[in-house]
């Protein structure tokens, strides 16, 4: 009820503002013709007026991008449009009409609605007495700082990157740092709205925002803290962790293909737009996300171009390119993530499924539904150990189990990719799989299951050579090769 009223009020404002801006622009043209300026000052004025005009044009374009996102309502009755703050300094100062997108009363009204509906949303007061720890990252547009709030809670703050490419290019073009900050901050505002609309386990969690009252165009977005994605480090991690990142990505793309905003394409798709939070992948850079459809007349209008591959998609009877955003996301996932993370060291019983995914995503033969199903199937097989069906049963009988014992001792032999730097620690489905692995390592004479588990629920097994010492340990058990005797 309150929601539809608010939406109606917003719409009314939009219509009104279009009328007012038409009126104002005709007055301005008239004013231009009757001005009595000398040539020199006129030239100067004309130049700065045209720069200002261009900047105002850009600002309006950015606002126009956000409006449809505000007016769209998510499926599950959510609804606060989030309170985009601050009126436009630039347009206010230069006599532009108060327009709904920048009029603070509208934003504030929306913000209050949302604040009341959502108690977990942090505002400016939560930033009082915070401690900045370090810079987490920066890009063309934004700067991200690691912060501990007064209560000790760790968060990440996103701000406009004053030294970023976006700011410096804008200042170079328009020579107006204040106007530019306002322009660039629209990207952050758009991201804020998208973060509210696109809530998902694989999208960074929005904790709140603070719009500076004193200075317009200042916006701080408060996010859950993550760790920037380190591709190099990930390449050296166990397959299970690399698979997790790919699975999370596919689940995210599945959600984006049918999001509350429609099918959303990530136009700037790069590993650096993601972070990890406790091992799971989360999208953090959303300012280049787009829910726009591509109009077309023929299939030729629906080309999808990548550096090493071009695709052509069908133009639907509705006159839009069918699933263009979804396919674009899938191919980017393939070229930036799957090719690096998925095939390498995949478990032998799963390689045919992994190869199938590589081919169907690399050729865009599967849609996102089929892709997410293929990933979930791999997860199911891997978790349940069904992919291990043809392990030789005999190896397991070669080991003696010693319950209530653990192994201790100095650094043991290493393997790759191990969960521990100190020795050979791998994930296994069962003691039987561990026995199989131990038998395939010449140095291995025993292994320990400690009860520790990985994210899939598989067990961590520590493999050792004969130098292992046995110690009492309720939670773990040691399996010793029958042909060898441990030093006790």
Ligand X SMILES: *[C@@H]1O[C@H](CO)[C@@H](O)[C@H](O)[C@H]1NC(C)=O
Ligand Y SMILES: Nc1ncnc2c1ncn2[C@@H]1O[C@H](COP(=O)(O)OP(=O)(O)O)[C@@H](O)[C@H]1O
* Binding flag, residue 363, ligand X (CB under 6 A): yes
| Interstrand relation of 303-306 and 469-481 (parallel, antiparallel or unpaired) | unpaired
Q: Which of ligand X, ligand Y, Mg ion, none does residue 390 bind to, with CB < 5 to 8 Å depending on kind? A: none
Question: Could you give the 3-state DSSP secondary structure of residue 475?
Answer: strand
**Which contiguous run of DSSP H or E holds residue 79?**
none
Q: Are 242 and 347 in contact (CB under 8 A)?
A: no
CA–CA distance, 113 with 126 (Å, rounded to integer): 19
Instruction: Work out how close the CB of 65 gets to ligand Y at its nearest, in angstroms, rounded to a whole number.
Output: 15
* 412 noted as active-site residue: no
Residue 369 sits in the site that holds ligand X (CB under 6 A): yes
Closest by Cα among 171, 154, 286, 325 to 224 = 154
Considering only residues 359, 384, 394, 422, which one is a binding residue for ligand X as defined by CB under 6 A? Answer: 359
CB of 134 to ligand Y, least distance (A): 10
The neighbouring-strand residues paired with 275 are 228, 282
Rounded to 10°, the helix 324-333/239-257 angle is 170
Residue 225: CB minimum distance to Mg ion, A = 16
Least distance CB 351 / ligand X (angstroms): 14
What is the distance between the alpha carbons of residues 41 and 64, in angstroms, rounded to a whole number? 34
Name the minimum Å distance from CB 145 to Mg ion.
15
Does residue number 226 form part of the binding site for Mg ion (CB under 5 A)?
no
Helix, strand, coil % in the chain, rounded to nearest 5? 45, 20, 35
Q: Quote the CA–CA distance of 156 and 139 in Å, as a whole number.
A: 15
CA distance 123 to 111: 10
Q: Quick one: 140 or 340, whose CB is closer to ligand Y?
A: 140
Residues 6+ apart with CB under 8 A from 324: 265, 293, 294, 302, 304, 313
Q: Length of the chain in residues, anyone?
A: 488
Q: Say which entry of ligand X, ligand Y, Mg ion, none residue 141 contacts (CB below 5 to 8 A, set by partner kind).
A: ligand Y
Q: Does the protein bind ligand X through residue 362 (CB under 6 A)?
A: yes
How many residues interact with ligand Y (rule CB under 6 A)?
22
Smaller CB distance to ligand X: residue 170 or 366? 366
Please identify which of the residues 176, 268, 299, 367 carries the catalytic annotation: 268
Q: Binding residue for Mg ion (CB under 5 A) from 99, 103, 166, 285? A: 285
Residue 139 binds ligand Y, judged by CB under 6 A: yes
Query: CA 395 to CA 381: how far, in whole Å?
Result: 22
d(CA 95, CA 116): 34
| Contact code string over 91-130 relative to ligand Y, x by CB under 6 A | ----------------------------------------
Binding mask 144-183 for ligand Y (x = CB under 6 A): x-----------x----x--x-------------------
If one asks whether residue 193 binds ligand Y (CB under 6 A), the answer comes out as no
| Span 279-318, contacts to ligand X by CB under 6 A | 305, 308-310
* Cα 168 to Cα 160, 165, 174, 181, 187, distances in angstroms: 12, 5, 10, 10, 15
| Residues near Mg ion, by CB under 5 A | 139, 273, 285
| Residues near ligand X, by CB under 6 A | 39, 305, 308-310, 358-359, 362-363, 367, 369
What amino acid positions are annotated as catalytic residues?
Answer: 268
């Amino acid at each position: 009820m309150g929601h539809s009223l608010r939406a109606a009020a917003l719409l009314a404002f939009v219509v009104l503002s279009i009328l007012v801006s038409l009126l104002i622009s005709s007055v301005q043209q008239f004013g231009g013709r009757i001005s009595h300026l000398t040539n020199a000052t006129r030239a100067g004025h004309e130049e700065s007026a045209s720069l200002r005009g261009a900047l105002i044009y850009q600002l309006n374009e950015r606002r126009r991008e956000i409006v449809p996102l505000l007016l769209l309502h998510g499926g599950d009755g959510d609804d606060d449009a989030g309170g985009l703050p601050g009126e436009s300094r630039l347009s206010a100062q230069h006599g532009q009409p108060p327009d709904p997108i920048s009029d603070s009363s509208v934003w504030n009204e929306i913000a209050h609605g949302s604040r009341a509906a959502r108690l977990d949303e942090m505002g400016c007061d939560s930033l009082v007495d915070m401690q900045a720890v370090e810079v987490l990252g920066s890009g063309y547009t934004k700067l991200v700082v690691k912060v501990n709030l007064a209560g000790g809670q760790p968060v990440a703050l996103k701000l406009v990157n004053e030294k970023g490419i976006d700011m410096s290019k804008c200042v170079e073009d328009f020579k107006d740092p204040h106007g530019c900050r306002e322009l660039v901050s629209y990207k952050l505002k758009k991201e804020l709205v998208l973060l509210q609309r696109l809530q998902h386990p694989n999208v960074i969690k929005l904790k709140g925002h603070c719009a500076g009252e004193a200075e317009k165009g200042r916006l701080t977005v408060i996010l859950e803290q993550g760790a920037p994605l380190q591709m190099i480090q990930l390449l050296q991690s166990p397959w299970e962790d690399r698979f997790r990142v790919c699975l999370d990505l596919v689940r995210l793309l599945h959600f984006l293909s049918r999001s509350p905003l429609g099918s959303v394409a990530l136009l700037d798709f790069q590993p650096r737009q993601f972070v990890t939070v406790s091992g799971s992948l989360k999208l953090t850079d959303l300012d280049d996300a787009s829910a726009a459809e591509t109009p077309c007349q023929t299939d030729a209008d629906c080309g999808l171009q990548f550096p090493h591959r071009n695709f052509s998609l069908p133009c639907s009877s509705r006159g839009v390119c069918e699933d263009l955003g979804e396919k674009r996301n899938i191919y980017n996932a393939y070229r930036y993530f799957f090719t690096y993370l998925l095939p390498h060291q995949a478990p032998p019983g799963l390689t045919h499924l992994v190869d199938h995914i590589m081919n169907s995503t690399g050729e865009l033969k599967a849609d996102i539904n089929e892709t997410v199903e293929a990933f979930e199937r791999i997860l199911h097989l891997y978790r349940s150990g069904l992919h291990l069906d043809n392990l030789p049963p005999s190896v397991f009988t070669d080991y003696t189990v010693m319950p209530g014992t653990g192994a201790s001792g100095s650094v043991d032999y290493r393997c790759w990719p191990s969960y521990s730097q100190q020795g050979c620690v791998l994930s296994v489905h069962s003691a039987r799989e561990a026995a199989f692995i131990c038998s395939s390592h010449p140095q291995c004479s025993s292994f320990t299951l400690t009860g520790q588990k990985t994210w899939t629920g598989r067990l961590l097994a520590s493999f050792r050579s004969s130098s292992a010492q046995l110690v009492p340990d309720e939670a773990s058990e040691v399996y010793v090769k029958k042909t060898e005797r441990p030093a006790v």
